[in-house]
Structure 1
Amino acid sequence: MQYMLLIYSSEDITPKPGTEEFGPFMQGYMEMTNAAREAGVLVNGDALQDVATATTVSVRNGKTHVTDGPFAETKEQLGGYYVLDCKNLDEAIKYAAMIPSSQHGRVEIRPVETFD
Protein backbone atom coordinates (compact mmCIF):
# COMPACT_ATOMS: atom_id res chain seq x y z
CA MET A 1 0.00 0.00 0.00
CA GLN A 2 1.31 3.44 -0.83
CA TYR A 3 1.16 6.12 1.85
CA MET A 4 1.77 9.84 1.44
CA LEU A 5 3.53 11.44 4.39
CA LEU A 6 2.65 15.15 4.42
CA ILE A 7 5.12 17.21 6.44
CA TYR A 8 3.66 20.22 8.27
CA SER A 9 5.68 22.64 10.33
CA SER A 10 5.91 26.30 11.19
CA GLU A 11 8.35 28.19 9.00
CA ASP A 12 9.22 30.27 12.11
CA ILE A 13 10.50 27.19 13.95
CA THR A 14 12.14 25.21 11.14
CA PRO A 15 15.95 25.57 11.16
CA LYS A 16 17.12 27.95 8.43
CA PRO A 17 20.09 27.54 6.08
CA GLY A 18 23.23 29.06 7.57
CA THR A 19 22.25 28.35 11.18
CA GLU A 20 24.00 25.88 13.47
CA GLU A 21 20.83 23.75 13.65
CA PHE A 22 20.35 23.43 9.88
CA GLY A 23 23.10 20.84 9.23
CA PRO A 24 21.86 18.27 11.76
CA PHE A 25 18.26 18.94 10.68
CA MET A 26 19.06 18.16 7.03
CA GLN A 27 21.21 15.19 8.06
CA GLY A 28 18.11 13.74 9.74
CA TYR A 29 16.22 14.05 6.45
CA MET A 30 19.06 12.36 4.57
CA GLU A 31 19.11 9.50 7.10
CA MET A 32 15.35 8.98 6.81
CA THR A 33 15.47 9.14 3.01
CA ASN A 34 18.37 6.68 2.85
CA ALA A 35 16.65 4.29 5.27
CA ALA A 36 13.47 4.31 3.18
CA ARG A 37 15.46 3.91 -0.05
CA GLU A 38 17.52 1.01 1.35
CA ALA A 39 14.35 -0.71 2.62
CA GLY A 40 12.85 -0.39 -0.87
CA VAL A 41 9.81 1.61 0.28
CA LEU A 42 10.73 5.07 -1.11
CA VAL A 43 8.58 6.00 -4.11
CA ASN A 44 9.14 9.76 -4.13
CA GLY A 45 9.68 12.74 -1.90
CA ASP A 46 10.46 16.42 -2.17
CA ALA A 47 10.59 19.62 -0.17
CA LEU A 48 8.41 22.55 -1.14
CA GLN A 49 9.51 26.16 -1.41
CA ASP A 50 8.38 28.62 1.28
CA VAL A 51 4.64 29.21 1.66
CA ALA A 52 5.13 32.75 0.30
CA THR A 53 5.59 31.17 -3.15
CA ALA A 54 2.18 29.45 -3.06
CA THR A 55 -0.65 30.24 -5.47
CA THR A 56 -4.18 29.01 -4.78
CA VAL A 57 -6.70 28.39 -7.58
CA SER A 58 -10.43 27.96 -7.20
CA VAL A 59 -13.26 27.90 -9.74
CA ARG A 60 -16.67 29.28 -8.82
CA ASN A 61 -19.55 29.55 -11.27
CA GLY A 62 -17.17 28.85 -14.15
CA LYS A 63 -14.78 31.66 -13.20
CA THR A 64 -11.18 30.94 -12.19
CA HIS A 65 -9.93 32.81 -9.13
CA VAL A 66 -6.21 33.00 -8.38
CA THR A 67 -4.92 34.07 -4.97
CA ASP A 68 -1.34 34.53 -3.83
CA GLY A 69 -0.47 32.43 -0.82
CA PRO A 70 -1.73 29.22 0.72
CA PHE A 71 -5.35 28.12 0.98
CA ALA A 72 -5.59 28.73 4.72
CA GLU A 73 -3.86 30.89 7.28
CA THR A 74 -2.35 28.44 9.76
CA LYS A 75 0.62 28.23 12.07
CA GLU A 76 1.91 25.13 10.29
CA GLN A 77 2.32 24.88 6.53
CA LEU A 78 2.88 21.96 4.19
CA GLY A 79 6.63 21.89 3.65
CA GLY A 80 7.19 18.64 1.78
CA TYR A 81 6.14 15.05 1.34
CA TYR A 82 7.22 11.48 0.88
CA VAL A 83 5.36 8.71 -0.91
CA LEU A 84 6.28 5.33 0.55
CA ASP A 85 5.17 1.84 -0.45
CA CYS A 86 4.82 0.20 2.96
CA LYS A 87 3.49 -3.16 4.13
CA ASN A 88 1.05 -1.46 6.46
CA LEU A 89 0.27 1.70 8.43
CA ASP A 90 2.62 0.69 11.25
CA GLU A 91 5.56 0.71 8.85
CA ALA A 92 4.50 4.13 7.50
CA ILE A 93 4.32 5.44 11.09
CA LYS A 94 7.86 4.18 11.71
CA TYR A 95 9.18 6.29 8.82
CA ALA A 96 7.02 9.31 9.69
CA ALA A 97 8.58 9.33 13.16
CA MET A 98 12.04 9.48 11.53
CA ILE A 99 11.22 12.77 9.74
CA PRO A 100 12.98 15.60 11.64
CA SER A 101 10.00 17.96 11.31
CA SER A 102 7.89 15.54 13.36
CA GLN A 103 9.83 16.85 16.39
CA HIS A 104 8.40 20.37 16.08
CA GLY A 105 5.57 19.95 13.58
CA ARG A 106 3.39 17.12 12.38
CA VAL A 107 3.44 14.43 9.72
CA GLU A 108 0.06 13.43 8.32
CA ILE A 109 -0.12 9.95 6.82
CA ARG A 110 -2.67 9.31 4.10
CA PRO A 111 -3.16 6.11 2.10
CA VAL A 112 -2.87 6.78 -1.64
CA GLU A 113 -6.00 5.88 -3.58
CA THR A 114 -5.08 4.40 -6.93
CA PHE A 115 -7.52 4.21 -9.81
CA ASP A 116 -6.41 1.37 -12.06
Structure 2
Amino acid sequence: MREEILMQYMILIYGNEGAWSTMPPDQMKQSFEAFMQYNQNLAKAGILRSGEQLQPTRAATTVRMAQGKIETRDGPFAETKE
Protein backbone atom coordinates (compact mmCIF):
# COMPACT_ATOMS: atom_id res chain seq x y z
CA MET A 1 0.00 0.00 0.00
CA ARG A 2 1.31 3.43 -0.91
CA GLU A 3 1.65 6.15 1.72
CA GLU A 4 -0.93 8.90 1.67
CA ILE A 5 0.44 12.09 0.13
CA LEU A 6 -0.22 14.98 2.49
CA MET A 7 1.44 17.78 0.55
CA GLN A 8 2.51 18.44 -2.99
CA TYR A 9 5.06 21.03 -4.08
CA MET A 10 5.70 22.83 -7.32
CA ILE A 11 9.26 23.54 -8.38
CA LEU A 12 9.81 26.43 -10.77
CA ILE A 13 13.18 26.53 -12.45
CA TYR A 14 14.14 29.98 -13.67
CA GLY A 15 16.87 30.35 -16.22
CA ASN A 16 18.45 33.08 -18.26
CA GLU A 17 16.76 32.68 -21.64
CA GLY A 18 19.45 34.74 -23.35
CA ALA A 19 22.23 32.52 -22.01
CA TRP A 20 21.05 29.55 -24.10
CA SER A 21 21.66 31.43 -27.34
CA THR A 22 25.31 32.08 -26.44
CA MET A 23 26.05 28.82 -24.61
CA PRO A 24 28.50 26.43 -26.30
CA PRO A 25 26.73 23.28 -27.58
CA ASP A 26 28.65 20.95 -25.25
CA GLN A 27 27.67 23.00 -22.20
CA MET A 28 24.05 23.13 -23.40
CA LYS A 29 24.04 19.34 -23.79
CA GLN A 30 25.55 18.87 -20.32
CA SER A 31 22.95 21.15 -18.71
CA PHE A 32 20.07 19.44 -20.51
CA GLU A 33 21.32 15.96 -19.55
CA ALA A 34 21.62 16.99 -15.88
CA PHE A 35 18.06 18.31 -15.96
CA MET A 36 16.77 15.11 -17.58
CA GLN A 37 18.60 12.99 -14.99
CA TYR A 38 16.97 15.01 -12.21
CA ASN A 39 13.53 14.38 -13.75
CA GLN A 40 14.28 10.67 -14.12
CA ASN A 41 15.29 10.46 -10.45
CA LEU A 42 12.02 12.12 -9.41
CA ALA A 43 10.04 9.74 -11.65
CA LYS A 44 11.85 6.65 -10.28
CA ALA A 45 11.05 7.80 -6.74
CA GLY A 46 7.39 8.04 -7.76
CA ILE A 47 7.13 11.71 -6.83
CA LEU A 48 7.07 13.41 -10.23
CA ARG A 49 3.51 14.48 -11.01
CA SER A 50 4.07 16.52 -14.14
CA GLY A 51 6.60 18.62 -15.95
CA GLU A 52 5.80 21.31 -18.45
CA GLN A 53 7.65 24.18 -20.06
CA LEU A 54 6.23 27.62 -19.41
CA GLN A 55 6.02 30.41 -21.97
CA PRO A 56 9.00 32.77 -22.40
CA THR A 57 9.20 35.74 -20.03
CA ARG A 58 8.12 38.13 -22.79
CA ALA A 59 4.67 36.48 -22.61
CA ALA A 60 4.41 36.86 -18.82
CA THR A 61 1.87 38.83 -16.85
CA THR A 62 2.70 39.75 -13.26
CA VAL A 63 -0.24 39.75 -10.84
CA ARG A 64 0.19 41.56 -7.51
CA MET A 65 -1.99 42.79 -4.67
CA ALA A 66 -1.38 46.48 -3.88
CA GLN A 67 -3.41 48.43 -1.33
CA GLY A 68 -6.15 45.82 -1.43
CA LYS A 69 -6.47 45.88 -5.22
CA ILE A 70 -5.25 43.42 -7.81
CA GLU A 71 -2.77 44.85 -10.33
CA THR A 72 -1.61 43.17 -13.52
CA ARG A 73 1.40 44.19 -15.58
CA ASP A 74 2.94 42.86 -18.75
CA GLY A 75 6.24 41.12 -18.14
CA PRO A 76 7.75 39.40 -15.14
CA PHE A 77 9.32 42.44 -13.48
CA ALA A 78 7.83 45.20 -11.37
CA GLU A 79 8.32 48.70 -12.68
CA THR A 80 10.92 50.71 -10.79
CA LYS A 81 11.31 54.43 -10.34
CA GLU A 82 14.49 55.90 -11.75
Superposed pair shares fold, TM > 0.5: yes
Match of 2:31 in 1: 25
Larger Rg: 2
Match of 1:85 in 2: none
Quick one: distance in 2 between partners of 1:47 and 1:3? 17
RMSD of the alignment, in Å?
3.2
Quick one: distance in 2 between partners of 1:16 and 1:31? 22
One-letter amino acid of the structure 2 residue matched with residue 42 of structure 1: L
Quick one: distance in 2 between partners of 1:44 and 1:65? 29
Specify which structure has the higher proportion of helix: 2
Match of 2:3 in 1: none
One-letter amino acid of the structure 2 residue matched with residue 11 of structure 1: E
Q: How many residues align?
A: 71
Of structures 1 and 2, the one with the larger relative CO (CA 8 A, separation 6+) is: 1
**Structure 1 residue runs without a partner (length 5+):** 74-116
Q: 1:72 to 1:59 in 2, by over 3 A?
A: closer
One-letter amino acid of the structure 1 residue matched with residue 12 of structure 2: L
Match of 1:36 in 2: 42
Match of 2:75 in 1: 69
2:12 paired with 1:3 = no
Match of 1:15 in 2: 20
Q: 1:41 to 1:17 in 2, by over 3 A?
A: farther
Q: 1:35 to 1:59 in 2, by over 3 A?
A: closer
Q: Normalising by structure 2, report the TM-score.
A: 0.57
Quick one: distance in 2 between partners of 1:46 and 1:57? 21
Quick one: distance in 1 between partners of 2:34 and 2:42? 12
Q: 1:72 to 1:47 in 2, by over 3 A?
A: farther
Instruction: Compute the displacement of 1:16 (Å).
Output: 3.6
